[in-house]
């Protein structure tokens, strides 16, 4: 039987995980998460006006960065970090020194399972990350490494060790993560279905990644988790997490890594304005019909053996093939390269290892 991850009475990965939260407001929502988050270190990325004071409840261990800090730390390379958009969260990924990242939005609350028990979303994400994925052959009983499950008859024994899990993509109760047109035609729709399931997204299959309830192994896939150029001064928004998801998935497929989706659930408390969202998404709704085939057909050379090398190669292909869609993609491709340069500057030991110098 596939061995499930053991449940620990002490917080899992207490000293190996950072929680990254982008925000423009006081973080009162942390009170609800206190039983689960307080043992961990928080990285808060303040968007918008840097002169505004963000209040954090007492008792949390955190560091807070605003736009002035981003400019000071990155200098000219700060241009790759979005402004007035939650995409700024990826700065937290860059400055973290931990192996794992969990990121959550400030309108996401603790959900309850069908029995009424509060869900420790972070613990479930960690279990997902610490057990292998199965991207090369689909197991019809879903995640074989969960308690009570296993590989079904006909599953190749040669593939049962699985692959390292790079990311864990959680879901949401209450407000679904819909695009603006769907919000407009289904304004009252709420997700009340709790599906007790975790599965690996198969190799060569893309998915729309949502960044509001997401965990990943920073050492395995961190440099690919760039949330692009969104928000102030950009022609598009609300595609930040999806861009990171498409890039990450293509790179995971190339490097033999897995991504899981399903549990855990959080309670998404607030629906964003669909008319504001439509303005942000308008071009993306058209562009994605060309972006997605681009990623479906992207081929990374076998010489690209690190996430950084893969990402630079993707940036090159974005410039070559998507710039014809809109000049924005030429700018985005340059920002992707800048992002990797900034990542390596802030993480020199990891960069040296990736380049074979350590």
pTM, rounded to two decimals? 0.95
Sequence-distant (6+) residues with CB within 8 A of 183 are 271, 274, 277
Q: What averages of pLDDT result for each successive group of 10 residues across the chain (358 residues)?
A: 51 96 98 98 97 98 98 98 97 98 98 98 98 98 96 98 98 97 96 98 98 98 98 96 98 98 97 94 97 98 98 98 98 98 92 60
Q: How far is CA 304 from CA 111, 332, 355, in A?
A: 41, 21, 11
Cα 54–Cα 75–Cα 245 angle in degrees, nearest 5:
70
Residue 5 confidence (pLDDT): 43
Residue 1 confidence (pLDDT): 43
Whole-number Å distance between alpha carbons of 341 and 358:
18
Report the run of H or E that residue 287 belongs to, with start and end: helix 274-297
DSSP code string of 32-55: HHHHHHTTSEEEEEE-S-TTSPPP
Helices 328-346 and 307-321 pack at an angle, to 10 degrees, of 170
Tokens for 182?
């769907």
Report the run of H or E that residue 170 belongs to, with start and end: strand 165-174
Give the β-pairing of 198-200 and 258-268.
antiparallel
Q: How many CB atoms lie within 10 A of CB 73?
A: 17
Distance of CA 96 to the CA centre of its chain: 14
Residue 9 confidence (pLDDT): 62
Give the β-pairing of 100-104 and 198-200.
unpaired
Residue with tokens 């001064």: 233
Produce one character per residue of 121-141: b if its CB has 16 or more CB atoms within 10 Å, e if not: bbbbbbbbbbbbbbbbbebee
Is the preceding peptide bond at 337 cis, omega within 30 degrees of 0?
no
Residue 6 confidence (pLDDT): 44
């Amino acid at each position: 039987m596939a061995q499930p991850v053991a449940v620990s009475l002490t917080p899992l990965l207490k000293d190996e995980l950072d929680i990254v939260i982008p925000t423009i407001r006081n973080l009162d929502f942390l009170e609800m998460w206190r039983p689960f988050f307080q043992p961990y270190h928080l990285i808060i990325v303040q968007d918008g006006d840097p002169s505004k004071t963000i209040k954090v409840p007492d008792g949390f261990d955190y560091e807070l960065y605003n736009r002035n800090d981003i400019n000071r730390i990155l200098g000219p390379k700060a241009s790759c970090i979005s402004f007035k958009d939650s995409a700024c969260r990826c700065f937290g990924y860059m400055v973290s020194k931990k192996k794992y990242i969990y990121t959550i939005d400030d309108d996401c609350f603790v959900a309850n399972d069908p029995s009424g028990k509060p869900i420790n979303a972070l613990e479930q994400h960690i279990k997902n990350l610490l057990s292998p994925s199965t991207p090369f052959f689909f197991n019809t009983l879903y995640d074989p490494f969960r308690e009570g499950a296993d590989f079904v008859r006909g599953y190749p024994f040669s593939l049962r060790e699985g692959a390292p899990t790079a990311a864990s993509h959680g879901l949401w109760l209450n407000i679904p993560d819909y695009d603006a047109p769907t919000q407009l035609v289904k304004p009252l729709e709420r997700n009340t279905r709790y599906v007790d399931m975790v599965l690996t997204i198969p190799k060569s299959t893309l998915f729309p990644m949502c960044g509001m309830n997401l965990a990943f192994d920073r050492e395995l896939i961190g440099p690919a988790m760039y949330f692009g150029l969104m928000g102030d001064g950009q022609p598009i928004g609300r595609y930040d997490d999806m861009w990171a998801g498409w890039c990450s998935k293509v790179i995971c497929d190339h490097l033999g890594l897995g991504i899981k989706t399903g549990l855990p659930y959080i309670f998404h408390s607030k629906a964003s304005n669909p008319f504001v969202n439509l303005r942000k998404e308008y071009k993306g709704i058209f562009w994605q019909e060309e972006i997605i085939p681009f990623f479906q057909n992207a081929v990374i050379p076998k010489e690209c053996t690190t996430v950084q090398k893969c990402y630079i190669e993707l940036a090159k292909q974005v410039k070559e093939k998507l710039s014809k869609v809109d000049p924005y993609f030429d700018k985005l491709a340059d920002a992707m390269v800048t992002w990797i340069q900034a990542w390596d500057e802030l993480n020199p030991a990891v960069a040296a290892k990736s380049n074979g110098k350590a």
